[in-house]
Structure 1
Amino acid sequence: MSVFTHLVAELGRLLEPVLAQSATAAAIVLFTVLVRLALHPLSRAAFRGATPAAGCLPLLLQLPVFFVMYQAFSSAEVGGKTNELLGHRLFAAPLGARWTEAMGEGGPFGAQGLVFLGLFAAIAVVAAWSAVRGRRSAAAVAAAAAASTAGPKKPAGRGAPQGRAGVKGAGAKAGAGAKAGVGVMAEVSAEQQEVMRKLGGVLPLLSFGTLITAAVVPLAAGLYLLTTTAWSVAERAWLQYRKERAERAVEERLEQAA
């Protein structure tokens, strides 16, 4: 934990000329971004699995980091020395303060309370964004899987044309497969698809649980939660965009070849 404390403190000192008393809070955000960058290859690999639970491994690997963050802003001493991080603030609220403590310092609309309300509002926006994207993604995957498994299969004609028309037909079929982009989803049973559809609708709602966690942990840990949750949603949106762009490029090449 002393290594983490030293790293955040050094980052805070680098940012202090620009951000003054909020430099340590910015250092926590920067530290979180560095952690997520290190985990990005795992997140990308998990996304390729095309399941609603994609990203669970990076989430689990962050638990030790979150625990260290929690301890660093909950302990008065670190390594036998006074914890210097506890004296730092985000605007009017100490980074080691909790929501309940802010309630005793002017209520929800006091100087500290407003900082927590801003944090909660930002987390709620990210959670809502995650829930909307999660539901849309689950619905799209379920619809594509149902279409690919329920579509009628026509027997190949004995006198099928070969030339340019044959190539065009093959290209259209390949383009349709790329557009579906469901891979393994097309091979699973209807029961498995239903389970995955339900999970896809429920898992995004878990993001709202971050609000409850942020209300009981130190403000610094709440900043970590906000940053890593926002990163997760933005990362999946970017990966989905790249996937769809690659699929469109494949379709265009097939159409040009036809």
Structure 2
Amino acid sequence: MTRFSANLGFLWTDLALPDAIRAAKVAGFDAVEFHWPYAVDAAEVRAALQETGLPVLGLNTRRGDVAAGENGLAALPGREAEARAAIDEALAYAQAVGAGAVHVMAGRAEGAEARRTFLENLRHACAAAGPDRIILIEPLNPWDAPGYFLSRTEQAAEIIAEIGSPNLRLMFDCYHVGRTEGDVMGRLRALFPVIGHIQFAAIPDRGAPDHGDLDFAPVFAEIAALGWQKPLGAEYKVSGATEDSLGWLRSLARV
């Protein structure tokens, strides 16, 4: 059976994070993952994780000045000190709660200098993470994240190959890949050796995966056939109560 992780950046956002973890357990999820949990004391999060027995798969580095439109720091020339502080903070929080991965957010940037900056900051992240924690990079589609440095999977794969660190992997979000590149199944097969986490949401509205342009039953079957064993990240937007959006959970878990 397919297993799922609840992304609590989008699910149960009406609850405090420890209570959202408990709600994910009650709903039948096998793991959780976070966006930016830093306002919550790590000890409270760790207690909820221990109570429920749920592992936490990962979390993101801070975006920077969100009010000013920032969406990550790691590819911004001249902001290296802030970017590395955000990476170190994320790794420390991940260590405190037992998260297996940190997604290093690139930010809005372009050009050769941005690429050089991103690679240098990723090298710092990979070295600081050590062998037991994964660093993830994720291409974001230009409609949801205009101007984001990393927008296509081949761009991410080139960076992963150039750095050559075994703990640098691709966060493959079926939603972002589907919006930008279209061929989700083909990209999954081609990139499988460098994937560190898989997420999903309906295309094109980023809702629950029970509708839209992509049928997730064959996608999840293909992921299983490729040998993937970790929970898949449910990172979709809900309108109303999260519980009301979970009809897909039972049917797609049987894939």
User: TM-score, structure 1 length as denominator?
Assistant: 0.25
Q: Which has the higher helix share?
A: 1
User: TM-score, structure 2 length as denominator?
Assistant: 0.26
Q: Structure with the greater relative contact order (CA < 8 A, sep ≥ 6): 1 or 2?
A: 1
